[in-house]
Amino acid sequence: MANSDADKLMAKADKLTKLSFTRWSTDWKTATSLYEQAAVAYRFQKDNEKAKEAFEKASKGQEMISSPWDAAKHLETAATLAKELGRLNEVADHYRRASEFYMEAGRSQPASDALAKGASALEEGMPDEAIKMYTDACVILEEDNKEQMAFDLYRNIAAMYIKTQRYTDAATFFLRLGVAADKCNAVNSQCKAYLSAIIVYLYAHDFGQAQTCYNDCSQVDAFLNSDQNLCAMKLLSAYEEGDAEEIKRAANSSTIRHLDHSVIRLAKKLPTGDLNGLKKEEEASATLDEDDLT
């Protein structure tokens, strides 16, 4: 079908959605079918601009005839075309609206998936919006008690925070993953998440927070008796001793090599900061504690 034929379909559909002196009611059902035909034709002709518009109108048509599932599908396609055209704001808007339509259809998993697709498309161009969309995708699954389906989303968010050097936020989401994994009895994922959070704190040279995180996580029996706990303990002990070589050995363990790539990359760079200064702080703290006992 030539573009001129698709243009005629669009024009005919537009007329069916507007009232006039000779048309007292709209016909969205017929118009939607015409928009869909035009959208396919434009896409075949690689006219992404017109194809995007046609899919947007087809989505509106499906909304008007109370078919939120199909409305969402068309908006997802429009979002893909918007990405190809470099319209990142439209990408975000379309995937968010698609997610809303899926929720109207009572489908939380596709609603979350739509936000995750949008986030993935925006990681490079709009990282903050990508994080928000990943986070909202998690919330949808959490509210539907489907935390296990959100594990990859937690990891993606943490990786985004690491990429943007927001290490405290990254650690927070690893801990959030740990809590979700605990609810699902996913012990391996839980322990890996806790170790990841500790490594992130160490990379940020926040030994105090890393130690606190380790102590808190060790209250969980599953972590206390895990290989990940042993690895974390070796790392923290090496930090307390100010032993850079031992830190490197611990950071290169097989336990860490099974973590997410973003965390492995941080571990390979340990230690960061001044270990001597850290050791002096620990010694000063120990001296103060002894004075308190006398």
Tokens of 69: 């599932």
> How much is the CA Rg of the chain, to the nearest whole Å?
26
Chain mean pLDDT for the chain: 93
Q: What pTM does this model have?
A: 0.89
Ordered structural domains, the chain, with CATH: 32-144 (1.25.40.10), 167-275 (1.25.40.10)
- Is the per-residue pLDDT at 294 higher than 50? no
Yes or no: say if 36 and 51 are a contact pair by the CB < 8 Å rule. Answer: no
What does the pLDDT look like over 236-271, one tens digit per residue? 999 999 999 999 999 999 999 999 999 999 999 999
Tokens of 197: 């959070």
Q: Measured between alpha carbons, how far is residue 4 from residues 36, 45, 50, 52, 81 in Å?
A: 15, 11, 12, 16, 20
Mean pLDDT of 98-120: 98
